């Protein structure tokens, strides 16, 4: 891999993704965009033929499906072209034109969902029983569930018209914290470095405690100066959640958020109660951290710096792929051979180039390959895990698209993190079992502990905070800055335990989490990790049946609700056991890390 960052035009073709499974080139994309525009113009005409006529209804559904398939292809291609070089004005123009047409298309087809809800029950049921509707049965059944919460056409129009204005709290929070806030700079040996939302995590990982402390206090001073505005923005977002739930006849904002995935509220409650029951294991970890760092007192800015320094092992991209493939052998030949071909043969945009989007993601679609954006670095172990993680998403998409009709191939976010977490667990087991180096084992354990802490314990704490704040709003009490800080401080004290000494400004963290503006979302990270851990252990300890159960989960796509599909795979998220097992493994990892570090 080149040591300098190349221009996109200088990246070898074998290191880039091949987008031909979507479109052969930009010219074909342009031609299909014209077709897409024509489909949009025809959308309103379809409305005139909808009625108690199964044949006409079926033709409308087919037209809608064709529209959605082309919309997905066009959108994925344009977006991927932008991410490979965000300075490419041609690609950015393509994306802007697509977004413009897609918005028009959504408006043109907006009549369909309310019209389906208004269909006579007998007619609707006759359609579900008709084999000609096989490819639409799941889509229609899931959509019909919303009937009790759909309003009149006039009321739905009013709600739709206010949707843009309803983004104001979220948008204002983002602009305020990412643009208007000036956090200043922090002096480090290399010179002054800007303190921003992005660099804050960097400072919290530095070994110099005095630098961490200064960055922490300076960072939260900005939030303290604007605490009343931030509290008002979040309160406004919560009130909007309350309003939407009330007008759509849901018992609460949480019930409304969980309804689309048909997730029982008991799943949410089980997560919170089970994690709280296992908080002593978290307290033990913080006590160990304090001891290993040789601190008289543990502060909030002491919990993110690594206990084990990153190990440097040079691995080419191809070598990393080989390790991932060997680790995933328990999933069978079809899985690993397909993934190997994809990782080495056109799915992945491997390395950094000028203008390329940072980070990594998987972009799976119905007709195209499940593409992966990487910025692979040969000496960063985490990037090997990223290949496994994104490969899990891509194989989930690959199986889903090949085993379901388009209208129900898309899986939910609740399920999405299971496939990626599963792969990471298998790679960890492979590396750990094949390592003879205590330093490497310690690093692997420390890394997994940090991931579990951040995904299971921390996201559950966030979920608990969201629930509590919405309960306050729905009871009619005022949501003030003091109320928010009190509730968040109570959680900080409970989760960090007696070893932690919090600063007066520590509870301002509750005013800086962007996920809170998308209510009742973060719990899915914790449930996804728990399910991924449970299923990976089941497959590693099992045989053919356990493997096939898991592959059936990947194949199910969106044909079932997530709790049902996971139950068929072998894990029941309606019970506390998967979360309990994840907490037990966290405690075991802490003990194993402690033994290694204390023996050195």
Of 505, 12, 419, the closest CA to residue 220 belongs to 505
Of 465, 457, 456, the closest CA to residue 527 belongs to 456
Other C-beta atoms within 10 Å of 541: how many? 9
Q: How many helices (H) and strands (E) does the chain have?
A: 25, 7
What phi and psi values does residue 149 have, to the nearest 5 degrees?
A: -110, 5
Q: How far apart are CA 154 and CA 158, in angstroms?
A: 6
Residues 6+ apart with CB under 8 A from 337: none
Q: How far apart are CA 567 and CA 418, in angstroms?
A: 13
As beta bridge partners, residue 299 has: 501
Q: Establish whether 424 is a catalytic residue.
A: no
Q: How far apart are CA 520 and CA 524, in angstroms?
A: 8
As beta bridge partners, residue 186 has: 193
Of 311, 521, 546, the closest CA to residue 426 belongs to 546
- Let me know: does 43 contact 59? Beta carbons within 8 Å: no
Annotated catalytic residue within 71, 352, 390, 487? 390
Q: How far apart are CA 362 and CA 252, in angstroms?
A: 33
Show the DSSP H helices in 278-380 as ranges: 279-292, 317-327, 333-344
Q: Give me the DSSP letters along 101-146.
A: HHHHHHHHTTTHHHHHHTS-HHHHHHHHHSGGGGGGHHHHHHHHTT
Structure tokens, 2: 């080149």
Secondary element (H or E) of residue 349:
strand 348-349
Catalytic residue annotation: 390
């Amino acid at each position: 891999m080149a040591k300098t960052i190349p221009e996109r035009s200088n990246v070898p073709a074998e290191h880039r993704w091949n987008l031909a499974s979507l479109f052969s080139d930009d010219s074909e994309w342009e031609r299909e965009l014209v077709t897409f525009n024509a489909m949009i113009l025809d959308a309103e005409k379809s409305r005139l033929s909808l009625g108690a006529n199964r044949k006409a209804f079926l033709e409308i559904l087919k037209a809608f499906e064709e529209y959605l398939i082309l919309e997905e292809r066009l959108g994925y291609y344009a977006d991927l072209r932008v991410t490979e070089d965000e300075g490419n004005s041609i690609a950015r123009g393509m994306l802007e034109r697509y977004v413009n047409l897609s918005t028009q298309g959504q408006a043109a087809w907006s009549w369909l969902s309310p019209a389906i809800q208004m269909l006579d029950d007998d007619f609707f049921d006759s359609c579900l029983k008709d084999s000609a509707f096989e490819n639409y049965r799941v889509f229609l059944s899931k959509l019909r569930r919303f009937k009790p919460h759909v309003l009149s056409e006039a009321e739905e129009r009013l709600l739709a018209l206010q949707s843009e204005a309803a983004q104001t709290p979220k948008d204002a929070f983002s602009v305020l914290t990412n643009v208007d806030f000036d956090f200043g700079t922090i002096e480090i040996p290399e010179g002054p470095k800007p303190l921003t939302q992005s660099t804050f995590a960097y400072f919290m990982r530095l070994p110099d405690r005095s630098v961490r402390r200064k960055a922490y206090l300076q960072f939260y001073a900005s939030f303290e100066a604007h605490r009343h505005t931030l509290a008002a923005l979040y309160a406004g977002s919560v009130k909007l959640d309350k309003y939407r739930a009330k007008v759509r006849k849901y018992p609460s904002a949480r019930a409304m958020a969980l309804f689309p995935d048909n997730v029982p509220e008991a799943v949410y409650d089980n997560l919170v109660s089970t994690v709280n029951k296992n908080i002593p294991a978290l307290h033990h970890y913080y006590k160990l951290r304090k001891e290993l760092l040789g601190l008289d007192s543990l502060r909030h800015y002491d919990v993110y710096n690594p206990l084990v320094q990153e190990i440097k092992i040079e691995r080419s991209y191809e070598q990393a792929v080989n390790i991932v493939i060997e680790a995933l052998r328990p999933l069978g030949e079809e899985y690993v051979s397909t993934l190997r071909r994809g990782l080495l043969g056109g799915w992945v945009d491997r390395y950094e180039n000028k203008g390329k989007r940072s980070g990594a993601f998987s972009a799976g679609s119905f007709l195209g390959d499940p593409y992966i954006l990487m910025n692979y670095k040969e000496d960063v172990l985490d990037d090997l895990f990223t290949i496994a993680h994104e490969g899990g998403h891509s194989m989930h998409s690959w199986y889903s698209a090949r085993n379901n009709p388009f209208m129900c191939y898309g899986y939910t976010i609740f399920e999405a993190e299971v496939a990626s977490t599963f792969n990471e667990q298998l790679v960890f087991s492979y590396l750990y079992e094949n390592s003879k180096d205590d330093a490497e084992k310690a690093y692997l354990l420390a890394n997994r502990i940090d991931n579990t802490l951040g995904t299971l314990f921390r996201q559950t704490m966030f979920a608990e905070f969201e629930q509590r704040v919405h309960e306050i709003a729905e009871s009619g009490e005022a949501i003030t800055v003091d109320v928010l800080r009190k509730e968040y401080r109570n959680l900080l004290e409970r989760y960090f335990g007696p070893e932690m000494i919090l600063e007066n400004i520590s509870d301002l963290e509750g005013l800086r989490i962007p996920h809170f503006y998308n209510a009742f979302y973060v719990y899915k990270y914790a449930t996804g990790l728990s399910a991924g851990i449970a299923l990976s252990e089941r497959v590693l300890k099992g045989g053919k049946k356990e493997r096939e159960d898991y592959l059936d989960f990947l194949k199910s796509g969106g044909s079932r609700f997530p709790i049902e599909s996971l139950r068929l795979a072998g894990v029941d998220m309606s019970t506390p056991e998967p979360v309990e097992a994840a907490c037990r493994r966290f405690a075991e990892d802490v003990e194993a890390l402690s033994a290694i570090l204390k023996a050195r």
